Amino acid sequence: MSNEAWSLPPQEPPPDATLAWLEHTIGGTVRSVEALQGGLSSAVHRVDLDGSPHDTVVVRRMTQTSWLEREPEVPHRETSILRALRNIDIGVATPTLVAADPGADETDVPTVVMTYVPGRPEIDPDDPVDWAERLAACLARLHNTPEPAGLTDFRRWDDPNRPPPEWVADTDAWDEARARVDGPLPEHPWQFVHRDFHPNNIHWERGEIVGVVDWLEAVRGPRAVDITHCRWNLAILHSDEIADLFLDHYRQLTGYCEDVVVYDLATVLSVGPGPIPTFAWNVLGRSDLTPDVVAARCENWLAHLLASG
């Protein structure tokens, strides 16, 4: 849910020196570079090569200076997770590590290179019920995966000292949510979680989920953080009813019975102080999701949660 400014434009292509490092590291010659749409935290490009063991790779360059200053371990963490994904099967494709320069020793910014995952996100489905149920089934399979070694621990994204965002109309509801979330989150069992599981990070082909991408936030933590982060996105992209259906189907598939409403509220309260960024949805065809529309849906979701719990 970042709304921080970019240090470089998100579609800024890798400079020649970074592409030269890529060629030297994995072999071959760069044939083409294409910006991949839908991300917020990094500049992400598909790179096709000739004469390399890897015909196509994805290059993530971490271009938000403020983010790296706050979390300098991020490129190292993603490198570790992508290496671990070589030995993890969640039933669909995941990227795995090809090369990395997490300290930007030879690249312009911290850079991670991974295998290409086919498909594209689906964020405006013809059948939202089937869409939500398939997302729930995918997450259920992911959560049934053994925990890899070396994961960092989950940390909260909400800030108890952060005032309501400037677009909040019902500050009383925001304050009520803050009071409900104040103190430690409910204790749930911890396990391997994606931490950023939502429709923009799920790839589809011909009506089927074929891949899960963007693993740089993966940690050891309560599965509720994956469930509620996805629910917030479903409420924004479609409706509160579809977000609830997603949870219901996940429970049916897994037998999961933990109360997640406090985690839901903490997810809403993780939204930054400025306007909610809509770029990642807009570039995937959802021009209807303007900052005002998203703000209204976020407030409706918060009211729905407070009424339900």
In order of their start, the domains of the chain are 16-115 (3.30.200.20), 120-308 (3.90.1200.10)
Q: Are 92 and 212 in contact (CB under 8 A)?
A: yes
pLDDT of residue 9: 53
The CA radius of gyration of the chain, in Å to the nearest whole number, is 19
pLDDT of residue 3: 41
pLDDT of residue 97: 98
pLDDT mean values, one per 10 residues, the chain (309 residues): 45 91 98 83 92 96 83 90 95 98 95 97 97 98 94 90 91 95 94 97 97 95 98 98 98 98 97 88 95 96 94
What is the dihedral sign for C-alpha 259, 260, 261, 266?
Answer: positive
Kindly state the tokens that stand for 103: 């300290």
pLDDT of residue 38: 60
> What CA–CA distance (Å, rounded) separates 305 from 259?
12
Length of the chain: 309
Cα 225 to chain centroid, rounded? 11
Tell me, letter by letter, the H, E, C secondary structure of the chain.
CCCCCCCCCCCCCCCHHHHHHHHHHHCCEEEEEEECCCCCCCEEEEEEEECCCCCEEEEEECCCHHHHHHCCCHHHHHHHHHHHHHHCCCCCECCCEEEEECCCCCCCCCEEEEECCCCEECCCCCCHHHHHHHHHHHHHHHHCCCCCCCCCECCCCCCCCCCCCCCCCCHHHHHHHHHHHCCCCCCCCEEEECCCCCHHHEEEECCEEEEECCCCCCEEEECHHHHHHHHHHHHHHCCHHHHHHHHHHHHHHHCCCCCCHHHHHHHHCCCCCCCCCCHHHHCCCCCCCCHHHHHHHHHHHHHHHHHHC
Q: How many CA atoms lie within 13 A of 182 on its CB side?
A: 8
pLDDT of residue 40: 64
> What CA–CA distance (Å, rounded) separates 303 from 309?
10
pLDDT of residue 39: 62
Q: Strand pairing partners for 192?
A: 220
